[in-house]
Structure 1
Amino acid sequence: MFKNKLVNIMIILLVSLTLIGVVTLVLINYLSTEDNEFAEPTIDEIIANSYDTPEMTTMLLSNEFAKVQFKIHVDNRKALAEISKRDFQIENIIVHELAGMKSTELSGSEGLSKLESQIKFKINELMTEGTVVDIYTRRFIIQ
Structure 2
Amino acid sequence: MKNGVKLLIISMLIVIIILAAGLYLFCQKTVEGTENESSVDEIVANSVEIPELTTNLASDHFIRIAFTIQTDSKKTKQQLEKRNFQVNNTIIKQLSGMQAEEIKGTEGKIQLEETLKSSLNSLLEEGEVEQVYITTAIIQ
TM-score by length of 1: 0.71
Code of the residue aligned with 1:87 in structure 2: it is: N
| Other structure's SS at 2:48 match | strand
Aligned-pair CA distance for 1:129? 2.5
What aligned pairs does 1:109-128 form with structure 2 within 5 A after superposition? 109-128=106-125
| Alignment-derived partner of residue 87 in structure 1 | 84
Where structure 1 has 5 or more consecutive residues not aligned to the other structure, the ranges are 1-38
Code of the residue aligned with 1:58 in structure 2: it is: T
Counterpart-to-counterpart distance in 2, 1:65 and 1:126: 26
Q: Which has the higher helix share?
A: 2
Across the aligned residues of Structure 1 and Structure 2, the Cα RMSD in angstroms comes to: 1.4
| Other structure's SS at 2:87 match | helix
| Alignment-derived partner of residue 13 in structure 2 | none
Counterpart-to-counterpart distance in 1, 2:134 and 2:53: 12
| Alignment-derived partner of residue 135 in structure 1 | 132
Matched-pair identity in %: 40
| Alignment-derived partner of residue 73 in structure 1 | 70
Task: Confirm or deny that 1:42 pairs with 2:39.
Answer: yes
| Alignment-derived partner of residue 101 in structure 1 | 98
Code of the residue aligned with 1:92 in structure 2: it is: N
Aligned-pair CA distance for 1:54? 1.5
Q: Which residue, out of 56, 59, 73, partners 1:62? A: 59
- Stretches (4+) displaced over 4 A: none
- The number of residues matched between the two structures is 105
Where structure 2 has 5 or more consecutive residues not aligned to the other structure, the ranges are 1-34
| Other structure's SS at 1:54 match | strand
TM-score by length of 2: 0.72
